[in-house]
Amino acid sequence: MTQWLAKNNVRRCGRAAAGVLLACASAAAQQQDPPAAAPIRISVDRVDVGVIVTDARGNFVSNLGQQDFQVLDNNSPQAITDFVSVDAPGQVLMTVEAGPAVYLLQDAHMFVADALLNGLAPGDRVAIASYNEAPSEVLDFTADKQAAQAALEQIQFTLGYGNLNLSSSLNTVLDWLAPIPGKKTIVLVSTGVDTSPAVAAQTLVGRLQNGDVRLLAVSMSGPLRKGRKGNKPQVQQTEEMLEQADGWLKTLAESTGGRAFFPENAKAFQETYRQIAQIVRHEYSLAYAPPQADGAPHAIDVKVKAGANGSKDTTPDFRVDHRKGYIAPKAPN
C-alpha cells in the first residue's frame, strides 16, 4: 500500500470515522455501569518493573547489569531478586481495534507497521490480536516477522455500529500473557473509545499498575481530528470525545511506565512504530519482593548507580522510565 493511498484515505474517511466513533461513544455513555464507590485493588507478592534507560541525548543505554540499578520501595532500598537484560528476547502482542473507525483509516497505519516489525531484534516474538466487543487471537507468538505482517493485513474489521470494549478486552489479553515469562509488551493500536463497564476499566488499571507488562499505545485520534466537520456543537462533541479517549490511552500506558503516541499521518505512524521497536529492544526487567504486607499503595523508584556504563560522574545524567507504584499484599487475618 503506497503512502499516497494512505494519505488520501485519511482525508477521505476522517469525517465518516469520527461520526462512527461518536456513535460508539454515545452508546458507551448509555451502557456503562455507574462507577464503583471505591477503586478495585489488586495486591502482589512479587513486584516486576520494566525499566528503560536513556542518556542526556536520548540514546538508549543498553549495557547495564543488575549491579548498576538501585530499587527503592517507599524510599527504602530493596534487593533485586530477578534481572533480565536488554539482550533477552521480548514478547510483543500487537492488539488492534477492529471497529469501523479503524477500518476506514487502516491504510494510514496498518501497512506501515513494518517499521515496528523490522526494528525488533531477530529473537523477539510477535503475536497479533484484534478486539471490538471481545478480543480475538489472530496470530500466536512467532519470531517470523513476515508472518506477523501478513496477519495484520488479514484482520477482519467490524462494520456498522458496535461495542468497543477496550478495557474488558485488555483484561482478557493480560490473562493470555500471564503465563509467559520474560519481557512482555502490548502495542495497542486504538482510538481509545471504550464501551466497557466501569468496573472493567478500574480492574484493568489496577492490573497494569501491578503487573509485568508494558503497554505502548498508538492513538488513531490524529487522523480523526483532521476529518471532523459539522456545526459547532457537533465539532465540540467530537473534540471532547477524542480528548477523553486520548486521556484514557495515556492513563493505560503510564500505569505501566509506558508511553502513548499520537501520530497524525502515515509518515508519523511509521516513526512511532520505529520508536516503539527501539523501546522494546532496550527494556530491562527487574523484580523484587514487597517489603511489607500492609495492603497499602507503595511508590517505586529505580535509579542507575554512579559509575554505571563506565561513567565517572557521581550522578550520571540518565533518564529512567518505569511504573511508579503498586498495591502491597495484605497480611492474612
Q: Are 312 and 72 in contact (CB under 8 A)?
A: no
Give the model's pLDDT for residue 103. 62
Same domain (yes/no): 21, 151:
yes
Provide the domain count of the chain. Answer: 2
Same domain (yes/no): 167, 190:
yes
- CA separation, residue 153 to residues 98, 147, 170, 178, 269 (Å): 12, 10, 21, 27, 16
Q: Is the pLDDT of residue 25 over 90?
A: no
Give the model's pLDDT for residue 3. 38
Q: Is residue 316 part of a domain?
A: yes
Q: Is residue 333 part of a domain?
A: no
Same domain (yes/no): 76, 184:
no
Q: Is the pLDDT of residue 96 over 70?
A: yes
Q: Are 110 and 209 in contact (CB under 8 A)?
A: no
Q: Is the pLDDT of residue 39 over 50?
A: no
Which residues are registered as beta bridge partners of 189?
96, 218
Lowest mean pLDDT among 35-39, 257-261, 303-307: 35-39
Lowest mean pLDDT among 20-24, 53-57, 117-121, 294-298: 20-24
Say how far apart CA 253 and CA 276 lie, in whole Å. Answer: 13
Q: 0.85 cut: is pTM over it?
A: no
Q: Quote the domain boundaries for residue 64.
A: 47-85+283-327
Same domain (yes/no): 145, 77:
no
Instruction: Say which CATH number the domain at 95 has.
Output: 3.40.50.410
Report the alpha-carbon angle 161-165-167, nearest 5: 160
Residue type, 206: G
Q: How far is CA 233 from the centre of its chain?
A: 32
> pLDDT averaged over the chain?
81
Q: Locate 306 and state its grid cell.
A: 554512579
